[in-house]
Structure 1
C-alpha cells in the first residue's frame, strides 16, 4: 500500500492561514521574495491572485516539512502542483516562489475583472458540457475547467456566460438538488482564455532547472505520473490553461495502491472528494489532525523521512 499528499488549489485560501505555520519556512519565503509574507494572508491581501497563490505554495511546503515524512506520491490541484513539485524534489522552493509570484501576476493582469470560476454540483459532466455548448461564444466565453467528481464540475469564463449556464442548470428538470457556487477565484483558470499567460510563464520556466522527482508526481491535468523534467516543466507552466481532472487523478492514485491520502493546508475540500473514490484506506486533512497521528499513519504505509 502507498501514501499520497495532496495540495489544494485557489479557492481554499483562508485569512491568517500563514500565521499558523512554523517560522523557518515563512522566513525563507520572505527572504526570497523580499517582502514579509505574513502580510499576504490578510483578508484584503487575499483579493490578489498573486497573494493567494503564494500563500497556498508556502502553506503546502511548510506543512509538508512539519510532517517530515516522505509519501510515495504527491499531487496538487492547479497551483497545488507547485508545492507538490517542491516536495517531490523536482523544483526548488526558491524557484517555485519566483515562478508562482509571476504566475499570479500574469493571470491577474490578463483578466482583472469580469471573469472567474463557478462550481456546479449535482449535474453530471455530459449535462454540463451540453449547457456550455448552448452558451459559449466568442463574445460570451465559458469553458469546462475542473472535473472534481462524478457530479461536481467547475466552469470558467465571463461573468455573463457563467450566469447563463447557471440559469440553465437550475432550470433543468430534476435539477432541484443542483448547487451553483461562485468560487473565490477572480480569473478564468483551466481553459483556453489563459493560453497567453501560460506561454509567458513557460518562457520563465525555460530558465529554471527542474530535476527528476524523487517521489511519484501525479499530474492533476493528465491524471498520471510525470517523470521527465521537460514534461514536468510543461505540466507546471501550462496547467493554468488545461482542464483539471482531479477525479481521474485520485482514481489513478487509488489504482496504484494508494490507501492513505493526507490533504495539506488549508482546508479539507480534497479530503471530501477523495472519500468518493477511496473504498478502502484512510483519507485525512492536515488541518484539525494531530501531527504525530499523521506521521504514524505515514510510517505505517512505509514512508521514510523527508
Structure 2
C-alpha cells in the first residue's frame, strides 16, 4: 500500500498555524526562520499571531501556507515518515515540489510571494471572485457556465470532488451562475473569501509575468513523482514542472482526477501535510475506501504515527 503526501492550498490558513511545531521542534524553527529571512519580515509572527486580515491577503497567504506545510513536513520526516508520491492543491503544488526536491524552499517562498502579488493585481479588487457550487454534476455545471457567460467571463476553476465545483470569473457572470445553479438544483453556492478569479483565463497576464520569475529559478530532478493540477498526471522533468506551474495559474485544478490517478496506482494512505483537513475531506468523497491522516500539530502527528505503525508502514 503506497503513501501519498498531499499539501493544502489557499483557504486552509488560520492564525496559529505552525506554532505548536515551532515551539517543539528545531526542524520547524529552521523552516520559519528561513522564510522570515527570505521575505525580510516576520512571516512566522503573522502565522502564529495574525492579524487574520493580513494573513488572508493573497500575497501573504501563499508563502504562509507553504511555510507551515514545509515545517510540518520537516517534523514528519524527523520521525522517519517518507512518501511514494505527492500532490498539492493549487498553491500546495509548490510544497509538493519542495518535498520532491524539485524546488529549493527559499526559491519556493519567493515564488509564492510573487505569485500572490501577480494574482492579486491581475484583476481590479471586487470585480472578480470565486464561488463553490455544491450538488451538481459536471454536465449540469457546464450548462450553467455556458448560459452565465451572457453576463461576462465565468469558468470552472476547481474540480474538487463529486458534487463540488468551484467557478471563477467576473462578478456579474458569477452572480448569474449562482442563480442558474440554484434553478438547476444546486444544494448550495458559497462565495469564497479570495481576492480574485483564480484558475481562470482572467489570470493569463499574471501567468505570463510569473513565467519570467520562474525562468530565474533552478528546477531539479524530482526524488519521487508529483501529480500536477493541470493534467491529473505525473510530472517528472524540469520542463514539465515549469509548464505545469505556469499553466496552473489560469487553468482549472483537476483535484478529483489527481486523486483518482493516485488511487488507481495503489495509493491507500493519504497524509495531509500542513494546516487543516480540507483535502482529507475531499479525498474521502472521491475515494471512500482510502485512509486519510493529517499532520499540522503534535496531536495530529501522534495520531498519524500511531496509524502508520499499526498499518506496518512505519
Instruction: Name the TM tier (shorter chain).
Output: over 0.9
Q: Does 2:32 match 1:32?
A: no
From 131, 137, 144, the equivalent of 2:144 is 131
Q: Secondary structure at the match of 1:6?
A: strand
From 110, 124, 138, the equivalent of 1:98 is 110
Q: What's 1:120 paired with?
A: 133
Q: What's 1:219 paired with?
A: 228
Q: What are the within-5 Å matches in structure 2 for residues 165-184 of structure 1?
A: 165-172=177-184, 175=185, 178-184=187-193
| Contact 1:50–1:104, Cα closer than 8 Å, also in 2 | yes
| Contact 2:148–2:180, Cα closer than 8 Å, also in 1 | no
After superposition, the Cα gap between the structure-2 partners of 1:198 and 1:303, relative to the gap in structure 1 and judged at 3 Å, is farther
Could you list the structure 1 runs, at least 4 aligned residues long, displaced by more than 6 angstroms after superposition. 299-304
Q: What's 1:294 paired with?
A: 304
Matched residues, number: 300
After superposition, the Cα gap between the structure-2 partners of 1:141 and 1:152, relative to the gap in structure 1 and judged at 3 Å, is same
TM-score normalised by structure 2 residue count = 0.90
Q: What's 1:285 paired with?
A: 294
After superposition, the Cα gap between the structure-2 partners of 1:299 and 1:203, relative to the gap in structure 1 and judged at 3 Å, is farther
List alignment gaps of at least 5 residues for structure 2: 23-28
Q: What's 2:152 paired with?
A: 140
| Contact 1:18–1:55, Cα closer than 8 Å, also in 2 | no
Deviations 1:160-203 (A, max 9, x none): 2111111111123xx2x611111121111111111111111111
- Counterpart CA distance in 2 for 1:214 and 1:302 is 23
RMSD value over aligned CA atoms? 1.9
Deviations 1:56-83 (A, max 9, x none): 1101111111101221111011101001
After superposition, the Cα gap between the structure-2 partners of 1:62 and 1:145, relative to the gap in structure 1 and judged at 3 Å, is same
- Counterpart CA distance in 1 for 2:308 and 2:39 is 32
After superposition, the Cα gap between the structure-2 partners of 1:3 and 1:14, relative to the gap in structure 1 and judged at 3 Å, is same
TM-score normalised by structure 1 residue count = 0.92
- Counterpart CA distance in 2 for 1:82 and 1:90 is 9
Q: What are the within-5 Å matches in structure 2 for residues 152-301 of structure 1?
A: 152-172=164-184, 175=185, 178-287=187-296, 289-295=299-305, 297-298=307-308
